[in-house]
Amino acid sequence: MTDNHNYNTPSEGTLNWDVPLNENFEQIDTDVEIRDTDANRTSYTPKDGAKYLATDTGTVYVGDGSNWNEVGSLTNVAVGTSQPSSPSEGDLWIDTS
């Protein structure tokens, strides 16, 4: 097993080694983030729990099996010990002090 995703790693010589590997492939569509433009989002199946990052807008979506549901946006994230000088609504500021 892998530590972060519990993927099967059959030992050398394992009979029917294809079965656990096929289980891994079934999980990839929800375990690995999809990255493409917002306009191309409809080209991907919104599997339940899958994550989609629109690379042009920073919008994050999560699939529910039928639709891509907007969760938020990563368009402006500031990390630092002081507040950003000109924040806008929707910006994210992480205070490290």
If one compares 59 and 1, the residue with the highest pLDDT of the two is 59
pTM: 0.66
Which pLDDT score, from 0 to 100, does residue 78 have? Answer: 66
Per DSSP, the three-state class of 94 is strand
Contact partners, residue 67, CB within 8 Å, separation at least 6 = 46
The string of pLDDT tens digits covering residues 30-61 is 889 999 999 999 999 999 999 998 988 888 99
The string of pLDDT tens digits covering residues 2-33 is 777 788 889 999 999 999 899 888 888 888 99
